[in-house]
Amino acid sequence: MSKLDSKIPEGAIDQKWTKYRSTVALVNPSNKRSLEVLVVGSGLAGASAAATLAEMGYKVKVFCFQDSPRRAHSIAAQGGINAAKNYQNDGDSTYRLFYDTIKGGDYRAREGNVHRLAEVSSSIIDQCVAQGVPLAREYGGLLSNRSFGGTQVQRTFYAAGQTGQQLLLGAYSALQRQVGSGNIELCHRHEMLDIVTIDGVTRGIIARNLITGEMEKHFGHAVLLCTGGYGNVFYLSTNAMGSNVTAAWKAHKKGAFFGNPCYTQIHPTCIPVSGDHQSKLTLMSESLRNDGRIWVPKKKDDNRKATDIPEEERDYYLERRYPAFGNLVPRDVASRGAKERCDAGYGVGNSKMAVYLDFAFNTARYGRTEATKRNIHNPSHEEIMKMGKEVVKEKYGNLFDMYQQITGENPYEVPMRIYPAVHYTMGGLWVDYNLMTTVKGLYALGEANFSDHGANRLGASALMQGLADGYYVIPYTLGVYLSTEVTRMSAEKDKADSIEKLKTNHPAFEKALNEQNDIINKFLTINGTKSVESFHKRLGLIMWNKCGMARNKQGLTEAIAEIQALRKEFWSDVRVLGTATEFNPDLEKAGRVADFIELGELMCKDALHREESCGGHFREEHQTEDGEAQRDDVNFAYVAAWEYKSESNWELNKEELKYENIKIAQRSYK
């Protein structure tokens, strides 16, 4: 029998969530006051969950490793957030958002979860507007929308190129309001190093105070991991430098299954790698594909300047291959398109590993519209471009500035050079419909879970999912579990050694704390010759070369052996500087890299076992004649949920995916 129960409610797809909400067990207000919830992570998922749960009356503690919740990686999100409001009257609906998301994920996500996400999407926008989030508006005051990949409607709400920042400020304000009211205790500069379970049930966490080095025990009736994605396993990615997998990985080793670890999103529009000493890549938002056209020269090794290549000698390969969606095909498709052209010798720039993202055509189009609006007849080309640039600047100014600062080139004058880079991880902790992992009382929200995006996430859907999980899903689903805790507490109230009486004095906390101390001591006593950073970099190279945009059996088999060897070397030859009782970024990083190494092995194992291509997981052995991902629905229409057994040893559990409301088909954007 499968160990996985997704707990999707019975009934018609559009009634599941409504019925669930109306019939689930509730926790009464006075009981809520005695229930403690630990929220690890203060990005959009964590901050929205913590603020909402505190508002509802639970006692909440929030942890983040940054100095302020405002610095969570969510702040980096640029382009926007989806919602099926149909403000553009262009045919959008809850069903269409549901459909686009399932199709975009290459039919590897759960119908029940995704429909719920589409249903609550509109409420998220209302909530954020009520908080004062300055989403972009049309001249007349109505909220504005733009297009993102994989859709033919305009459903993306945005705040210039800073949508994540503005949404996070909204959630942070709600969080701080609860901190001010005494309902939330905020533990910043704290890193969760392990969960604590007693008889298989989550009872708290071990965290390290990153300023003093002190190890702390925290009790909770439930723990929510809102700890983000693990794209930094590739070393170079668009993620914030601090993003890591430690919280999820430690939970995994304590029994939480890891879902689809190999599903990684490679974003097509990033500033290309420029040298060996780089530690970060920069995203150029997908929103730019609304007005930027992607092309390469038709001639191989064409060394002319972009502006010297005439129109008829340019290959707008996405428009050519996918006329229905053009430059707005989903990310996996656009990324593979760029790789294919560069590998075939049509790349541009010094490295030849880049393609152009060109705004000239639409700058001119905007310029002509402006000229008409301003009653300027027969404007010159210069006048048109000047007026067009003003429009482009208003839409994407901060992104253009960022590009110019990093590359030294002016994208108003010459096309941007872009190349795909690691950006997001669809895989994560396996959760059921309630967002509970396979460890009782342990939940995962936002990018940390595997839930809604299948094998490829559509642009602007991560913010939607994080906020859906935090503001709208967990407030209902957590009560289902906590109501059983109320019953337990009442039954155990006269027991001298009850969980409630012992809390962090329970021996399980001491044991977990000692285990973490041992790991830290080990790091500091190896005294090897190689830096933590060097191991991270080597891991990243293995992952990118053999488990990146294209994967094959031979490469993955080699990668597994290489990572196992790297792990041995790490534990015998790493040199970690400083001590355990001070602010020590090198020590923090050592723990994160150790966990990334183990995760990397599992990712390769997952990619190796999945003998099909789907979404971001492209196995070279499985492609159609024209190079598209070739799924195998007979053998692989399941979520791979890996159970940790021991070092390098996992058991595969499968959650079968059933499609009852969408006809499963070969994905086409032509």
Q: Does 669 bind ligand FAD (CB under 6 A)?
A: no
Contact 106, 456 (CB under 8 A): yes
Q: How many of the chain's residues bind ligand FAD (CB under 6 A)?
A: 46
Which residue number, 384 or 448, has a Cβ lying nearer to ligand FAD? 448
Two structure tokens written together for 173: 């304000």
Q: Copy the structure tokens of residue 517.
A: 């101390």
Residues near 564 by Cβ (< 8 Å), separated by ≥ 6?
601, 648
- Residue 222, strand partner residues: 37
Tell me the CA end-to-end span of the chain in Å, nearest whole number.
41
The enclosing H or E element of 396 equals: helix 381-407
**From the CB of 171, what's the least distance to ligand FAD, in Å?**
9
Q: Which residue, 194 or 628, has its beta carbon nearer to ligand FAD? A: 194
Residue 535 carries which side chain, given as an amino acid letter?
A: F
Contacts of ligand FAD in 234-253 (CB under 6 A): 238-239, 243-244, 246-247
Residue in 79, 104, 220, 479 binding ligand FAD, rule: CB under 6 A: 79
Q: Choose which of 17, 63, 87, 430 interacts with ligand FAD (CB under 6 A).
A: 63
Q: Is 191 in the site for ligand FAD (CB under 6 A)?
A: yes
What binding mask, one character per residue, do residues 145-164 give for ligand FAD by CB under 6 A, x or -?
Answer: ------------------xx
* C-beta closer to ligand FAD: residue 166 or 653: 166
- Please give the structure tokens belonging to residue 549: 């945009």
Tokens standing for 436? 């509970």
Question: In this chain, which of 31, 78, 434, 438 binds ligand FAD, going by CB under 6 A?
Answer: 78
**Residue among 462 and 641 whose Cβ is closer to ligand FAD:** 462
Residue closest to ligand FAD, measured at CB: 43
| Binding status of residue 463 toward ligand FAD by CB under 6 A | yes
- The one-letter code for the residue type at 165 is Q
Residue 420 in the binding site for ligand FAD (CB under 6 A): no
Q: Confirm or reject binding of residue 447 to ligand FAD (CB under 6 A).
A: yes
- Beta carbons within 8 Å of 230's beta carbon, 6+ residues apart: 243, 244, 245, 248, 425, 427, 428, 596, 599
* Torsion angle, alpha carbons of 268, 639, 240, 159, to 10: 70
How crowded is residue 302: how many other Cβ atoms within 10 Å of its Cβ? 18
Candidate residues 80, 261, 411, 479; the one interacting with ligand FAD per rule CB under 6 A:
80
Binding mask 276-315 for ligand FAD (x = CB under 6 A): -------x--------------------------------
Min CB(615)–ligand FAD separation in Å: 16
d(CA 203, CA 222): 7
Are residues 185 and 60 in contact, defined by beta-carbon separation less than 8 angstroms? yes
Cβ nearer to ligand FAD, comparing 70 with 108? 70
Residue 454's closest CA among 291, 292, 633, 577?
633
Q: Say what the alpha-carbon torsion angle 314, 317, 322, 328 is, to the nearest 10 degrees.
A: -90
From 228, 259, 297, 441, residue interacting with ligand FAD (rule: CB under 6 A): 228
Applying CB under 6 A, the span of 71-79, 93-101, 319-327, 435-443 interacting with ligand FAD comes to 71-79
Cα–Cα distance, 213 to 582 (Å, whole number): 5
121 in contact with ligand FAD (CB under 6 A): no
- Of residues 43 and 388, the one with the C-beta less far from ligand FAD: 43
Helix (H) / strand (E) element for 546: namely helix 532-547
618 binds ligand FAD (CB under 6 A): no
Q: Which residues contact 262 (CB under 8 A, 6 or more apart)?
A: 427, 547, 551, 603, 604, 606, 607, 610, 617
The residues of the shown chain that bind ligand FAD, judged by CB under 6 A, are: 40-46, 63-66, 72-74, 76-81, 163-164, 190-192, 226-229, 238-239, 243-244, 246-247, 283, 423-424, 446-448, 460-463, 466
